[in-house]
Chain A
């Protein structure tokens, strides 16, 4: 129920920001629509831990900036590889363990790996993620498991 209320508030704020209409009639119609959608989502049982993960809100404020910085660093590294006169790549496939307690955590971890250029998650099975890395160094960087720990911590389990 908390999730349904939070979903309708989030929907309403999103609609206000996107529409730019603030006449009373439209505000009321918008509110009614948002509550209706949230009610449908509640009845369909899709506004759950996975569909509307409000339990991640505060911790993700720590994780996102860190991930962003990692993305910038990896981008510069891959750009350097591409522009170097000699193509010094060493494609590698490795398997890393995902220590998150549920599938939502695995998805966040696998997507974070893919979002960082130089490493792409190509298969997720049970709690193991198969990763293709463009150089051996990038694969080793992932195997230190720092990203894994940070995702686990964000989920509030580590």
Chain B
């Protein structure tokens, strides 16, 4: 039983780290602020949730489990608020999102600025 829990918890931790790295790659690869926010969203949600879940499995039924659950709840409540604040600040600061205007525009054919 302990072994099963350990395996499950390590699986969650490793998966969380992989999603975190993916978010980092996305931050570097995507073209502008608004698309990069979507990549950062992976780190806010699934990566953080998987790592916390892995830690919860390690904590077992203790008060630490409650604290980890609370951390998750607060991340889920605050991260969209801060993302929205960032997006709105960028818009008010005059940053225009890159928009895709026609089909088939990808990196080879960068989206036109509007």
Q: Which residues of A contact B (CB under 8 A)?
A: 14, 17-18, 20, 71-72, 75, 78-79, 82-83, 86-93, 110-112, 114-123, 132, 134, 136
Docked-complex contact A71 and B46, CB < 8 angstroms: yes
Q: Looking at the complex, which one of A88, A120, A123 makes contact with B37 (CB distance below 8 Å)?
A: A120
Docked-complex contact B106 and A87, CB < 8 angstroms: yes
Shortest beta-carbon distance, B18 to chain A, in Å? 9
Shortest beta-carbon distance, B11 to chain A, in Å? 15
Secondary structure at chain A's binding surface: helix, strand, loop or mixed? mixed
Q: Looking at the complex, which one of A17, A110, A115 makes contact with B76 (CB distance below 8 Å)?
A: A115
**Cα distance, A32 to B66, chains bound together (Å):** 23
Docked-complex contact B34 and A114, CB < 8 angstroms: no
Q: Which residues of B contact A (CB under 8 A)?
A: 19, 22-23, 25-26, 29-32, 34-35, 37-39, 41-42, 44-46, 63, 66-67, 70, 76-77, 79-81, 83-84, 87-88, 91, 97-100, 103, 105-108, 111
**Cα distance, A139 to B89, chains bound together (Å):** 22
Docked-complex contact B22 and A83, CB < 8 angstroms: yes
Docked-complex contact B30 and A89, CB < 8 angstroms: yes
Docked-complex contact B99 and A115, CB < 8 angstroms: no
Shortest beta-carbon distance, B57 to chain A, in Å? 17
Shortest beta-carbon distance, A83 to chain B, in Å? 6
**Cα distance, A72 to B50, chains bound together (Å):** 10
A111 partner residues in chain B, CB cutoff 8 A: 77, 80-81, 84
